[in-house]
Amino acid sequence: MSTAAPHALADVTASDSTLRRFLHGLPGVDAVGLEARAASLGTRSIKTTAKAYAIDLAISMVDLTTLEGADTPGKVRALGAKAVHPDPIDRTTPATAAVCVYPDMVATAKAAVAGSSVKVASVATAFPAGRAPLSVKLADVREAIAAGADEIDMVIDRGAFLAGHYLKVHEEIVAVKEACGAARLKVIFETGELSTYDNIRRASWLGMLAGADFIKTSTGKVAVNATPANTLLMLEAVRDFRAQTGVQVGVKPAGGIRTTKDAIKFLVLVNETAGEDWLDNHWFRFGASSLLNDLLMQRQKLATGRYSGPDYVTVD
């Protein structure tokens, strides 16, 4: 994965004005059409074996997240254990993709998932507001990497983005990407704060030009989080980006996805928009906490034919 802008679009990041010209030259988003498309794809009926496949795929795509001020090492260890064996009474259940924690909990999480396929992701760069000097953000990232994080979830400076300082945002992402080294970088746009679909499309391209490995909708800390429409928009962006540059970028909707039904709707969006190449936890993730329990209850229902209940999954 290169850290510089891909060749085909290398020149657009040369200066603030070329970058602005490029981002504002992206076609405007047809908001009504986008929402109608997302809604119509949400009506697909996924049943029986397809549902079982979708549930297992969704479980394997979960970034099991705890981002609370009250996180304790014990809670993080419990989360790690759950990520490795989501359903202890059914070992055929796949492990989740990663656990996602604050930087100071990375070492604890790393120890909890040691020896498994589960990765440790850490939010960094003054999450969730991103209001800190660049040097502090970079130190935040380096600490997380030093503690063993496999993935970094950074937030962009929404203030700078909304003020039109695109190059500043770009340079910040490039600097963080450099600090990440081999770790994969997820760039959070906080779509709920970007106001318009046009801005989400611009932010997506900006993030990808700056070398993001994943683009992620939101922090889960504001009122509007991942919606089918904004995720569809970002999936279109990664599809078009790969068509132009040959570089594949992942997508991670986060926040507000709580039910199996919702998760399957997102998987339909992925398949119909970006395509099968993205139906893998290397390229698509769910940032979620309560979603996993619902997926497990649905999985138990499919396996036994009986409706399950919250007594049969962990209380997180």
Partner 1 sequence: MSDRLSVFKTYKLYVGGKFPRSESGRVYEVTDAKGKWLANAPLSSRKDARDAVVAARKAFGAWSGATAYNRGQVLYRVAEMLEGRKSQFVHEVADAEGLSKSKAAAQVEATIDRWVWYAGWTDKIAQVVGGGNPVAGPYFNLSSPEPTGVVAVLAPQESSFLGLVSVVAPVIATGNTAVVVASERAPLPALSLAEVLATSDVPGGVVNVLSGRTAEIATPLAAHQDVNAIDLAGADDVLAKELEIAAADNLKRVLRPQPVDDWSATPGIDRMTAFLETKTVWHPTGSLGASGSSY
Contacts of 24 (CB under 8 A, 6+ apart): 202
Q: How far is the CB of 313 from partner 1 (least distance, A)?
A: 11
Residue 112, Cβ density class (10 Å: 0-12 exposed, 13-18 middle, ≥19 buried): buried
By C-beta, is 243 or 315 nearer to partner 1?
Answer: 315
Which positions are annotated as active-site residues? 153, 216, 252
Of the pair 276, 311, the CB lying nearest partner 1 is at: 311
| 202 token code pair | 């611009």
For residue 160, count other CB atoms closer than 10 A to its CB: 17
Nearer to partner 1 among residue 115 and residue 309 (C-beta):
309
Q: How far apart are CA 249 and CA 238, in angstroms?
A: 6
Q: How far is the CB of 306 from partner 1 (least distance, A)?
A: 4
Write down the least CB distance from residue 47 to partner 1, Å.
12
Residue 298 beta carbon to partner 1: minimum distance, rounded to whole angstroms: 11
Q: Residue 246 class from Cβ within 10 Å (0-12 exposed, 13-18 middle, 19+ buried)?
A: exposed
Least distance in angstroms from the C-beta of 45 to partner 1: 13
What φ, ψ does residue 147 adopt, rounded to 5°? -80, -5
> For partner 1, which is the closer residue by CB, 243 or 307?
307
Say if residues 166 and 19 touch (Cβ distance below 8 Å): yes
- The residue ranges that bind partner 1 (CB under 8 A) are 300, 305-312
- Whichever of 93 and 308 has its CB closer to partner 1, that residue is 308
Q: Which is nearer to partner 1, 157 or 294 (CB)?
A: 294
Q: Nearest approach, Cβ of 89 to partner 1 (angstroms)?
A: 12
Work out the angle between the directed axes of helices 260-273 and 31-41 (0-180°, nearest 10).
Answer: 120
Spatial contact of 184 and 213, defined as CB atoms under 8 Å apart: yes
63 touches 99 (CB < 8 A)? yes
CA–CA dist 37, 42 (Å, integer): 9
